[in-house]
């Protein structure tokens, strides 16, 4: 369905572009034939430029709007799934406990599963709410001095517990003691998103390293390196867009809302830093970098 | 014991379903991709009585699995269980060939009731199949539920084809296709008519599934499958069954 719609859109955009080319050709022809009439020529050139740029701008905005709509649909689908699945699971286990005789070992296992699911639910809700807060430009940052090393260590510990991976699978190499200024809550969300992503996308064999190092004495760069599926060159920038998820089987295997990296990039920008991804391509893993200004 | 195939990639849900269905006395197998589901549903493996199918799966999605199952002649009762509750999604599920559609989160008791409903329908259908179809079919020779042609005998009640002492077990659908052809012995039947009468499908489905059935039937009933003498192709129409085996392929 989506592919069909994209095809028809592509056709009409190509048609528009073709017609613009025809108009320009006709115009150039007219100019070549009537180059003697100077005033008309100047006026015509200005009008023509205005019309063409208007049409081009119109097309660009149209395409952008269509793309945003499609992404929004995908986002609603993903969030629906991310909200309903854990609720369905919790409900299923509660009803099981309510209606059946369950032995003690199973009961404890069911409790653990339900706690995991409520954790997942909370994570999704926080992600969505945070995106809303970041989008609202009026909201002021709650600035304090933060020990970045401490925040990273906390996040690493949290991800290790949630995904049940050991220190050898998720390594943390602390750098020098670094202090930054910023909103502790947002910084923590950004760092945690990066580490969580790396583990989530690694699949069954997790090998992730987290390290922090200073750059030129002005910035501190947090580098999260995984040996997961890697990223196509063309996707390296797009993955930071709001709601964007890499199309294909991978996004179906690893569930998510398409908000995590958008939050990372937004937080970096709001703190005067930046965030980007590096990858040699599919199969070569990826490195995500969050660079923030540090306080001397 | 009824066998249920659960196609669900969310491990927590899959295990919860397994626990409950086993407690209900069903035998449960869980797979987590559409590809694995199609693999588990191959006709030569032990058949399932009900399939519970999720939509958002890694790899091919539940709708495609459903379509592929039905086109491949796999008509096991299937309940789609998914977070997508939009009317468009529900309609898409039914159009693909689902028997029932339930959205997550669901009530456990309702799910179990629907599964037993599907099983009950299957039992009723099985019980009513033989007495109803038999008089309507009216096999041209051999009476009851057997039909003999050449040195072959088809036992419809046992789904067995006996060829010179050799016994080929046929699937229910293969037997139904053969029964339909025999009922119209000597007359050409179109692929569309077969789809409607045997499968009960009234859409412009891909008719290649039928050709696959014919290929398999020919392997059983023809001495030389490349030069059929019973099951003839009628160019541009479909197929024709000839009991006498005297006619050569035109």
Q: Per residue in A121-160, pLDDT tens?
A: 998 999 889 888 887 766 677 888 989 889 999 999 989 9
Q: What is the CATH number of domain B138-241?
A: 1.10.10.10
Strand order in the sheet with B231-234: B188-190, B238-241, B231-234
Quote the tokens at residue B247.
């006619």
- Choice among A59-63, B74-78, B241-245 with the minimum mean pLDDT: B241-245
Task: Say if the Cβ atoms of A85 and B13 lie within 8 Å.
Answer: yes
Task: Say if the Cβ atoms of B10 and A95 lie within 8 Å.
Answer: no
Distance CA B6, CA B34 (A): 11
Task: Say if the Cβ atoms of A95 and B56 lie within 8 Å.
Answer: no
CA B201, B202, B207, B210 torsion-angle sign? positive
Beta-carbon contacts of residue A61 (< 8 Å; ≥ 6 apart) = none
**Nearest CA-CA distance, residue A230 and chain B, Å:** 18
Question: In chain B, pLDDT over 70 holds for what percent of residues?
Answer: 87
* pLDDT, mean over chain A: 87
Reply yes or no on whether the pLDDT at B155 is more than 80.
yes
Reply yes or no on whether the pLDDT at B175 is more than 60.
yes
Nearest Cβ partner of A252 from B57, B84, B103? B57
Asked if residue A107 lies in contact with residue A279, where contact means CB atoms within 8 angstroms, the answer is no
SS3 A168: coil
Give the number of A-B residue pairs with CB atoms closer than 8 Å.
65
Reply yes or no on whether the pLDDT at B200 is more than 80.
no
Please tell me whether the peptide bond between B105 and the residue prior to it is cis, using omega within 30 degrees of 0. Answer: yes
**Nearest CA-CA distance, residue B16 and chain A, Å:** 6
Domain spans of chain B? Answer: 3-127, 138-241
Nearest to A192 by CA among A229, A153, A141, A237: A153
Which of A82, A204, A251, A252 to mutate against chain B (most B CBs within 10 Å)?
A: A252
Q: Per residue in A152-174, pLDDT tens?
A: 999 999 899 888 888 888 989 88
Q: Measured between beta carbons, which residues in chain A are less than 8 angstroms from residue B105?
A: 84, 87-88, 91-92
Q: Per residue in A23-33, pLDDT tens?
A: 888 888 887 88
Task: Say if the Cβ atoms of A95 and B12 lie within 8 Å.
Answer: no
Question: In chain A, pLDDT over 70 holds for what percent of residues?
Answer: 96
The structural architecture, per CATH, of the domain B3-127 is 3-Layer(aba) Sandwich (3.40)
DSSP state, B73?
T
Predicted local confidence at residue B250, as pLDDT: 40
Q: Per residue in A9-60, pLDDT tens?
A: 788 888 888 888 888 888 888 878 877 777 877 888 888 889 889 888 988 8
If contacts are CB pairs under 8 Å, which of residues 192-221 in chain A contact chain B? none
Alpha carbons within 13 angstroms on the beta-carbon side of residue B32 total 10
Q: Is B20 on the interface with A (CB under 8 A)?
A: yes
Q: Is A75 on the interface with B (CB under 8 A)?
A: no
Predicted ipTM of the assembly: 0.70
């Amino acid at each position: 369905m989506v592919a069909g719609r994209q095809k028809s859109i592509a056709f009409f955009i190509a048609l528009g572009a073709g017609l613009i080319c025809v108009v320009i050709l006709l115009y150039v022809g007219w100019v070549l034939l009537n180059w003697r009439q100077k005033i008309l020529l100047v006026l015509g050139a200005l009008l023509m430029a205005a019309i063409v740029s208007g049409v081009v701008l119109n097309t660009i905005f149209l395409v952008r709007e269509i793309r945003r709509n499609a992404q929004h649909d995908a986002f609603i689908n993903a969030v629906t799934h991310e909200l309903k699945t854990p609720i369905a699971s919790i409900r299923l286990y509660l009803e099981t406990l309510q209606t059946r005789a369950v032995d003690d070992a199973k009961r404890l296992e069911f409790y653990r599963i339900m706690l995991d699911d409520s954790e997942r639910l909370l994570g999704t809700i926080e992600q969505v709410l945070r995106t809303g807060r970041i989008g609202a430009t009026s909201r002021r940052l709650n600035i304090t001095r933060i020990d970045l090393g401490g925040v990273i260590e906390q996040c690493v510990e949290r991800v290790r517990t949630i995904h049940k991976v050991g220190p050898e699978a998720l390594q943390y190499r602390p750098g020098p003691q670094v202090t930054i200024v910023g909103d502790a809550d947002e910084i923590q969300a950004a760092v945690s998103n990066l580490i969580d992503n790396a583990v989530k996308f690694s699949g069954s064999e997790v090998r992730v390293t987290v390290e922090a190092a200073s750059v030129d004495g002005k910035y501190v760069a947090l580098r999260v390196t995984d040996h997961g599926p890697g990223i196509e060159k063309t996707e390296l920038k797009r993955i930071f867009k709001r709601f964007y998820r890499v199309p294909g089987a991978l996004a179906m295997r690893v569930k998510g809302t398409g908000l995590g990296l958008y939050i990372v990039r937004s937080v970096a920008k709001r703190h005067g830093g930046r965030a980007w991804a590096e990858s040699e391509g599919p199969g070569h893993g990826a490195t995500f970098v969050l660079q923030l200004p540090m306080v001397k | 014991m009824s066998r249920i195939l659960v196609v669900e990639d969310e491990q927590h849900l899959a295990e919860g379903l397994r626990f409950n269905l086993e407690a209900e006395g069903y035998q449960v197998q869980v797979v987590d991709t559409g590809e694995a589901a199609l693999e588990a549903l191959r006709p030569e493996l032990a058949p399932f009585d009900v399939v519970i199918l999720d939509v958002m799966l890694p790899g091919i999605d539940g709708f495609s699995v459903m379509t592929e199952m039905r086109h491949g002649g796999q008509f096991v009762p299937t309940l789609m269980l998914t977070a997508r509750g939009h009317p468009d999604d529900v309609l898409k599920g039914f159009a693909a060939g689902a028997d029932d559609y339930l959205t997550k989160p669901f009530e456990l008791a309702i799910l179990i009731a629907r599964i037993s409903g599907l099983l009950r329908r299957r039992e009723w259908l099985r019980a009513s199949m033989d007495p109803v179809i038999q008089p309507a079919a009216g096999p041209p020779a051999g009476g009851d539920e057997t039909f003999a042609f050449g040195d072959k005998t088809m036992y419809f009640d046992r789904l067995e084809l006996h060829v010179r002492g050799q016994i080929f077990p046929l699937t229910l659908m293969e037997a139904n296709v053969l029964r339909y052809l025999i009922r119209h012995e000597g007359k050409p039947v179109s692929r569309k008519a077969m789809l409607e009468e045997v499968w009960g499908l009234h859409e412009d489905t891909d008719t290649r599934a039928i050709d696959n059935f014919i290929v398999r039937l020919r392997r059983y009933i023809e001495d030389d499958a490349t030069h059929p003498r019973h099951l003839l192709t009628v160019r541009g129409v479909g197929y024709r069954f000839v009991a006498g085996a005297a006619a050569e392929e035109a």
